[in-house]
Structure 1
Amino acid sequence: MLTDMQVIVRLLLAVVLSGLIGLERQFHKRTAGLRTHILVSLGSCLIMLTSLYVFDIYSSKVPLDPTRIAAGVITGIGFLGAGTIIRDREGIRGLTTAASLWAVAGIGMAVGCGFYVGAVFTSVLVLVVLFFLRYIENIVFDEQKKAK
């Protein structure tokens, strides 16, 4: 059984990690920014904590599978992510934001079940993708435009 302090630390870590990713999205004026990313991760973390809590209480009485709740979270985040995707004359926008929401849901779930290394390293990788690969894409695509 987790202590109250462990629960609080996990929830705060989910806020910090997803907040960094949300800041990048907010900075680039995307549809889902700081608050949305934090709320998705925080909710996912709480769902995992609740799943672990219920498993601890009832596993000796009823056969439970705590991973079933996690699967439901991933499905639900898919619907939320779909709301950030916009198709217009210029093409499709919002795919990266939808993917980042899915990623912070996973980060929140990892923190919730105590998989800190996975959560922190994934957060770093997501930030690398969002910050640095944007510049590489711009350089490559600018060169391609100039070549035409």
Structure 2
Amino acid sequence: MEQILADLFPETEVPYPVMLARMVGAILLGAVIGAEREYQSHPAGLRTHILVALSACVFSLLSIESVHMAGFSDEQVRIDPLRVIEAVTSGVAFLAAGMIVFSRGEVKGLTTGAGMWLAGAVGLSVGLGYWFVAAFATFACFVVLFILGKIEIGSEESGSQKDGSKEKRD
């Protein structure tokens, strides 16, 4: 029984309760970012942003652990945790780019794509233990998406009343 538990829960650099807290934090902070997109009825909403933040967190936890794994301690094996950050960044950028559409002279989905990219950065931050960075980035994102979004809507409505046109928001 002891060997089964040792196989299921090998020794780690980051204790399991801390890993769990970081993953839960990524879920919650990703949800804050995704909630506004969901509220605005955009295709990449709550679930997408949670999954992006959580996956980035898991990749960062794995990069921390891989540096300390016994099997990778050989002189010939080189582990570069920055490659994980680069891989997450390019992977999320690929997803975010899929959200951006250029149609009839208008760009749509750019803000949602940027939110997904930030959710990935927040997940990496939490996974690496930089809670302050993740929390502040989430707060700033909320301000930009929700509060500045309300200001944008107000200015668009007053502009459409003046010239009779109505712009479509991202």
TM-score, normalisation: structure 1: 0.92
Flag structure 2 segments of 5+ consecutive residues without an equivalent. Answer: 1-12, 164-170
| Structure 1 equivalent of residue 146 of structure 2 | 131
Distance 1:54 1:65 in 2: 9
- SS of 1:83's equivalent in the other structure is helix
Distance 1:47 1:99 in 2: 20
| Structure 2 equivalent of residue 121 of structure 1 | 136
| Structure 1 equivalent of residue 5 of structure 2 | none
- Identical pairs, percent: 35
| Structure 1 equivalent of residue 110 of structure 2 | 95
Q: Select between 17-26 and 55-64 the one with higher mean Cα deviation.
A: 55-64
- What pairs up with 1:1-148 in 2 under 5 angstroms? 1-57=13-69, 58=72, 61=75, 62-89=77-104, 91-145=106-160, 148=163
Distance 2:42 2:160 in 1: 25
TM-score, normalisation: structure 2: 0.81
Which one has the largest radius of gyration?
Answer: 2
Q: C-alpha offsets along residues 10-47 of structure 1, whole Å, 9 cap, x if unaligned? A: 00000000011111111110010111000011100000
Flag structure 1 segments of 5+ consecutive residues without an equivalent. Answer: none
Aligned pair count reads 148
